[in-house]
Amino acid sequence: MSRWNSTNVPGFILMGLTDSAETQLVLSMLFLLIYLIMVVGNVGMILIIRLDPQLHTPMYFFLTQLSFLDLSYSSVITPKTLHNLLTSTKSISFLGCFTQLYLFVFFAAAECFLLSSMAYDRYVAICSPLHYPVIMSTRLCHALLSGSYVIGFMDSSINVLCLRRLNFCNSIVIHHFYCDTPALLALSCSDTHDFEIMLFIVAGSTLVLSLSTISGSYLSILSTILKINSTAGKKKAFSTCASHLLGVTIFYSTMIFTYLKPKRSYSLGRDQVASVFYTIVIPMLNPLIYSLRNKEVKNAALRVLQKREGCRRLIS
């Protein structure tokens, strides 16, 4: 039996989602369309917020960073997936595999805590509106953002350092469309019990801490909203949180389903569907959720377009 570790593994083969050439063609067209919509949506969101001074607030500062993270972690996965679907070359080097894994975990973990920061921002805006400009200062916003990236760095470093110590016997075929932790654990012939516990603690801590912050924020928000007498006031307060709450629900449900379970519960079909959703689909949905349900973003987009049209008329 061949036995490889991180010093001599020749690389991996990504089997992808299907062996059918027709299905691969359909999936490649679908994923390409989703990816293009994702890029246009997130880049557009960033540009609109940056170009419109009325959106230079903590809420939209965090939304800009959310768009950047969605754009980043989807771009780590989708281009390689499209390449594998359209070509017969499905190999990925050891360095490429672990770089993909590292960057994905980094951006995904950072997004977890960014979503927590966004929930705290909504909590302050609704529960302490008079103190909002003082509490949500530029300094605090940058500190929360920096903390998100630091935690992402720590999570991804621990994840990759643990996986680098595994041995891979007889097979280097990854039955997945990208290098993901459960797929690599399923491939290893090492005793992964200690690694599973470590990675479960890391992933669990990230999800539990961020979800606790989000849950605590929204419980306080709900308590405050219920005390509002006017129906219009309640509706306005709910509308400011609806987009974020929907995005959080979709993101965390797929993450928990995939990562907070032991290796023996790994299921190729179920995990691939969930992975497609949070690596490819959710980054496309977020800008649609936050823009279609947000009148300020729509109005800002109209103002940016009107300014651009005015500049074109002046030039002509």
Question: Residues, the chain, total?
Answer: 316
Distance between CA 285 and CA 250 in Å, rounded? 10
How many domains does the structure of the chain reveal? 1
Distance between CA 299 and CA 306 in Å, rounded? 10
pTM score: 0.86
The set of residues, in sequence order, having a beta carbon less than 8 Å from that of 103 and lying 6+ positions away, is 72, 73, 76, 156
The answer to whether 51 and 302 have CB atoms below 8 angstroms apart is no
pLDDT in the model for residue 265: 54
DSSP, collapsed to helix, strand or coil, labels residue 169 as strand
Residue ranges of alpha helices (H) inside the chain are 21-51, 58-86, 94-127, 132-135, 138-164, 181-187, 193-226, 231-259, 268-276, 282-292, 295-315
Mean pLDDT by 10 residues, the chain (316 residues): 54 82 89 94 89 86 93 92 85 88 93 93 90 93 95 91 77 83 79 80 86 91 84 74 80 75 57 80 84 68 66 58
Q: Identify the CATH number of the domain in which residue 145 sits.
A: 1.20.1070.10
What is the amino acid identity at position 199? L
- Beta-bridge partners for 169: 3
What are the φ and ψ backbone dihedral angles of 87, each rounded to 5 degrees? Answer: -130, 165
Return the half-sphere exposure (C-beta side, CA atoms, 13 A cut-off) of residue 182: 25
pLDDT in the model for residue 30: 93
Could you say which DSSP state residue 280 is in?
A: I
Segments forming the whole domain that contains residue 273: 3-315
The answer to whether 82 and 35 have CB atoms below 8 angstroms apart is yes
